[in-house]
Amino acid sequence: PSPETYKSRAREAMKADVVHPKFLDDAHWVQLWRKHFEASALLDGEVPFERPMDETFQDSNLRVLQWNLLAEGLVPEGFMMPLVSRNHVDRSDQFLQKLLESGRPEDLRTAAKLSSQGYRSYVWREGEEGEHEVMWEEFARMACNMVLAMKGLPPSQKEERGLDLKKKYNPDLSGEQTGQLTVNEKAVVGPEHRVLRVVWFVSLLKPDVICFQEVDNFSFLASELKQLGYACSSSNAKEYQPLKDREGSYRASRGERLVQSQWSFAPKSGWKRGKSTARHFLEKRVKDGGHKAKFDGKEWPIDDDGQAIFWREDRFDIIGDPEFLVLPGDKDIDSYLDGNSDEPGCSQSDQAAVRVLLQFKDLDHRLHRQQFYVCTTHLSSGTDNEVHRIQQLHHLGRRWARSGLPEIWSLDANTEVDFEDMDMSQGSQVPIPEESNALQSFMQNNDLRSVWNSFYSSTRDIWDPPVSVWKMRGSASAQPKKVGEDMYQLIDHIFYDGRHLFEQGEQALRLREKKTDDPADRDWLALMPNELLPSDHLPIVWDFHLNVGSPRWEPIVLVSCAEQLFTQLKAQVLQDDPSLTDIEEFFKPLYLGGLQARKMDENQSDVAFEVFNLLKMFSHEAKAVLHYEVSETYSKLESFRERMIKATGRHQSKATYESSLVQALLFSAAAIVAAGPWVGARLFGEMKSTITLAAMRCVLRTLTAAPCLDPNFVEVMSEGQLWALLAQLSAIINPNCPHIVKAFDQNGMMTLQEMDALLGEIGEQLACRRSPSAPALCVLRCINWRKCATGTHVAAAVKMLMQAIESGKIPFLEQHIFSAGDRMEEMQAVPSAMSAVSTIRLLRANTNSGTAQPPLPPELQHKQTFDQSAAISALASLANSGNLDSGGGLALLLESLQRQMALAQGNQTPERQARALHRPPPWVVASYVRRTVVSALERMEPIEALVVSAQKLHVQEQPTKKRARLNPVEELIQALVDFPQDGPQSQAHTFGRILRLLVKVASRCGPKALLSPMVARNGTDRLRDVLECLALLSDQDLQRWKTHLHLNRLLDQLLCVDVSSDSLALALQTRIRDATQEREFLTLLMQRPVMEEGSPRSYDLSKILVEIDNFDLVKQLSARSQKA
């Protein structure tokens, strides 16, 4: 069954229990959800329960749900909660109608106030002496009045005061339990819909292991969870039998009765009555004419409440049968404290614990047959019972802790980690310091950790612990002396000893209420249970992180896979291509090198020479792949990849992915051979690093080339395997990066604590000039920023990247590589060993000469080093996190862009500066930063953040200093600057991306959002610069007309929208229109190419031109031009 099924069933049952329909729709439940839980990347952002929570098991997490369900037999018992009954809404509507009919201004204001606050926010009270009619009172005020009225009263006065409060807020005028609080509680805590809401939560949260307390509808709950795939016993277990129906003397052999069951459910007992308290009250209710809950019209047997463990049966097997342990009772512990026994007995016990040993199924070969224990129990309640809890946990730990296997202990402990009672004011029998309380002693004695440790460490002043219980007993209670008792605590706990199997991880569903020092922070409208939460406890959902190490690759396996792929691909190119034979020459020696590097004898110098020559050949290939130096030859593997791109017709194709993977596998195999212990001892220099870096670049290319949206695409290697290969390569090139390797192994899924350590390691690598930056840059692309990081983490990563770029830690390509063969012929007059600056200047000069030149070859279109490509990829991943603007990362990007553009435009001697500082010329850095920022902003979500302005001005700066104006749209417009030193085709590509991004912003935010930035930053002048740059390109250059298309689309959006109702927008639009109608601008805008019939690009070019001419603006300008 789907979550929607259980939600619908629960709501139907709630309607039958007279909960008003106003409180049963999704909109209301979303509001209530946000009172209890923070936003989670694992849930839908708008309606958190729209779909189930994302499962993270495949991402190496183990999700545990801890939850006290509130037994059916224990309610109703006066739980205070906002009023949602049909009676309350009807009464409110009648009252509001009377106020409106009175016609008095003060009554109208009162009606408006109540209507604005909502039905849940107030209650009715009987008038005080002298008041003749029923009055309303805010719900929170009523609750606080109850607490204050009862606090500090001696026990002898509490009963009378509680009855007075009942008369005031919950009078039963008919004698049939019709008080407003009584009717409301019965409506909200009806067991039929509460249990269904529990199952609904389970279906939403998708835990792997579940630990419940206060379960007294075990048979029904087990049957429903079975349909969701959860088990509570082995597949061959006998039918479940309630404790009361099992053989044996109840009090004398309770342990024997427990072990008769093969189900992981430990019912409570009552040493006085022979039954649990919940069962006692439920049987009494039925005897007095009440009824037991019916589910699906069926009566289920009355049972004792207790603790239960469930697990995903598709992921785990239970080993053996569940284990049970009876805990000492309060009387047993008191007898021990009085010295009547050497240790607490269990003859008067109420509670028991249950434990199961679970084993992973063969879903993942890395986890197969791993085992761990899960235990759950429920400790004695009351602040005066801390000594009893200490003894119960001591008894439990002595018998079950330190098992030698990983352990998870999940319990409702009824106490907090920081409990202390040194002055015995809370009723303790002895002074109890915090470090010796029940939970601290349990952790210390058994080497356990709490999932809440970070809230009780040195960071307590920064992070307040969450609240798992927020409840109060109101005047509907049958025990008037307990009215006003409230609990705002963290008493639900998960302890663990992960050993080798798992680590702490993080809370999958973060709780919103926090236990601050200010009681005024409490939200009284979030009291539980309520129409959303079926219990007085919140569910604790924890994702433990499994320590799953990715397997490492042997070089011969990589070579074999590469050879198979190459055999499939070479059929797509000409079979007489000599490069195919050259590539085939790699396989056999590399395969042998992988074998010999492990087995060779130290005296086999001939073998060492053969391996050395093999790696030297790969080192030459690697230099070409990395683009680190000028080469008059070309890479065989690079040539094969480019031929495959040409043969398949599009870059993001399956063949492109596979050809990139062939390169990745071969270079990785060579890197592993070079890193072998025998080879590594004899090879010095940069050969190993160069090969490894080339392997990393090819792996990153493969990840980028994978066409995930192509339904016909078949992945040869999973993304996880490629990240694992990068982990192996990172360890080769830099053994001192454990956190980076771990991030790769975990597919980028890190806890918040791990993120801090990882970013520190990345920062060290990016700042150190002696260590390669590649692992740090690649891992920034790998991290799942949306799920694992905060806005602060994202901003820190952006800052480190931009500092590395601006400080020169990221190497730039100062000279382009020219390959031999056809490309050299295409270049015509361009010398083969010319610098990038000189080459581009010559190309521009040739273009300006009026002679038709061929399109700029790929070698000169943003050719980048590996580090440059990896940095762009990393920033794009950061922008896609959804937090680029929240932590300050967006501002850092824009500041860097401002700075570099200013340096490039204000420098009159760029080459002299570059030689003096051993750095690339400023225009090279600015051009790269511009591409980097645009790449990031293209991936940014939400795109609406680009129209938000910010101003930064240091208070101690001189007034004459220019302040930073950070409006993303304005900075994008300002970035449409032509660098005279750069190539026109290269810039046309960048301009096209900027214009496409501006079009996207106008489409999402409305064209009016761009009118002011366009005028403020002289946008029409920038567009004219773009058109002038485009005019330098050949008529047949597709990139020229693609950029032309984006420019026309932007102007069409800005000038063809109706803004006549907004005088300011109309004036701005007129200003832009006037500028575009100037002769020079208009001439450039209306230029069109001369079509060459039969040209291979004529079809694509004609489609672009048709689209341009169909814009309304172009049609208007054409008509005006014809008239002129």
Q: Write a three-state SS string for 150-184.
A: HCCCCHHHHHHHHHHHHHHHCCCCCCCCCCHHHHH
pLDDT of res. 309: 98
User: CA 741 to CA 746: how far, in whole Å?
Assistant: 9
pLDDT of res. 386: 92
What is the end-to-end Cα distance of the chain in Å, rounded? 71
Q: Assess whether pLDDT exceeds 70 at residue 739.
A: yes
pLDDT of res. 199: 96
Q: Assess whether pLDDT exceeds 70 at residue 1099.
A: no
pLDDT of res. 18: 92
Q: Which residue has the higher pLDDT, 594 or 340?
A: 340
**560-607: per-residue pLDDT in tens?**
778 888 887 777 766 666 667 777 777 777 777 776 655 544 455 566
Which range, 30-44, 364-378, 402-416, has the best average confidence (pLDDT)?
Answer: 402-416
Pairing verdict, β 209-215 and 306-312: antiparallel
406-to-24, 265, 309, 486 alpha-carbon distances in Å: 42, 21, 17, 37
**1080-1094: per-residue pLDDT in tens?**
898 898 888 876 665
Neighbours of 993 (CB within 10 A): 19
Region 878-883 average pLDDT: 83
CA dihedral 454, 455, 459, 462 (to 10 degrees): 130
Q: Assess whether pLDDT exceeds 60 at residue 460.
A: no
pLDDT of res. 452: 93
With beta carbons less than 8 A apart as the criterion, state whether 1048 and 1085 touch: yes
Angle in degrees, CA 287, 289, 294, rounded to 5:
90
User: CA 546 to CA 556: how far, in whole Å?
Assistant: 29
70-to-459, 468, 660 alpha-carbon distances in Å: 33, 13, 58
Is the four-CA dihedral 714, 719, 722, 724 of positive or negative sign? negative
Neighbours of 999 (CB within 10 A): 22
Pairing verdict, β 209-215 and 61-68: parallel
Region 984-992 average pLDDT: 86
**938-983: per-residue pLDDT in tens?**
888 778 778 765 543 333 344 434 444 457 888 889 899 888 777 7
pLDDT of res. 830: 40
Q: Which residue has the higher pLDDT, 19 or 613?
A: 19
**487-542: per-residue pLDDT in tens?**
999 999 999 998 878 888 888 888 888 887 666 668 888 899 999 999 999 999 99
Of 321-325, 848-852, 1072-1076, the range with the lowest mean pLDDT is 848-852
Q: Assess whether pLDDT exceeds 70 at residue 679.
A: no
**70-116: per-residue pLDDT in tens?**
999 998 889 999 999 999 999 998 888 888 788 787 888 788 778 87
Q: Assess whether pLDDT exceeds 80 at residue 19.
A: yes
Which structure tokens are listed for 808?
């020169």
Q: Which long-range contacts (CB under 8 A, 24 or more apart) does 18-21 make?
A: 18/85, 18/86, 18/87, 18/183, 18/187, 19/84, 19/85, 19/86, 19/187, 19/188, 19/531, 20/84, 20/85, 20/86, 20/88, 20/89, 20/119
Region 175-186 average pLDDT: 86
Pairing verdict, β 492-497 and 407-412: antiparallel
pLDDT of res. 954: 35
67-to-217, 413, 540, 602, 685 alpha-carbon distances in Å: 15, 11, 6, 63, 59
**311-338: per-residue pLDDT in tens?**
999 999 999 999 999 999 888 888 888 8
Percent of the chain with pLDDT over 70: 82
1057-to-28, 500, 888, 1054, 1070 alpha-carbon distances in Å: 38, 63, 33, 6, 12
pLDDT interval class at 458 (50, 70, 90): low
**Residue closest to 1052 by CA, chosen among 1123, 990, 971, 1107:** 1107
SS in 3 state form for 625-649?
Answer: HHCCCCCCCCCHHHHHHHHHHHHHC
Residue in the block written with tokens 């009855």: 163
351-to-213, 307, 536, 819 alpha-carbon distances in Å: 11, 9, 20, 79
**Residue closest to 211 by CA, chosen among 264, 258, 279, 262:** 264
Phi-psi region of 341 (alpha: psi -120 to 50; beta: other; left: phi over 0): beta
CA R_g for the chain: 36
pLDDT of res. 1047: 94
Q: Which residue has the higher pLDDT, 941 or 1001?
A: 1001
User: CA 1047 to CA 1041: how far, in whole Å?
Assistant: 10
Q: Assess whether pLDDT exceeds 80 at residue 238.
A: yes
pLDDT of res. 649: 58
pLDDT of res. 773: 87
pLDDT interval class at 1046 (50, 70, 90): very high
With beta carbons less than 8 A apart as the criterion, state whether 819 and 634 touch: yes
Region 187-202 average pLDDT: 94
Region 149-156 average pLDDT: 86
Residue in the block written with tokens 């309350």: 88
pLDDT of res. 712: 62
Q: Which residue has the higher pLDDT, 983 or 707?
A: 983
pLDDT of res. 819: 30
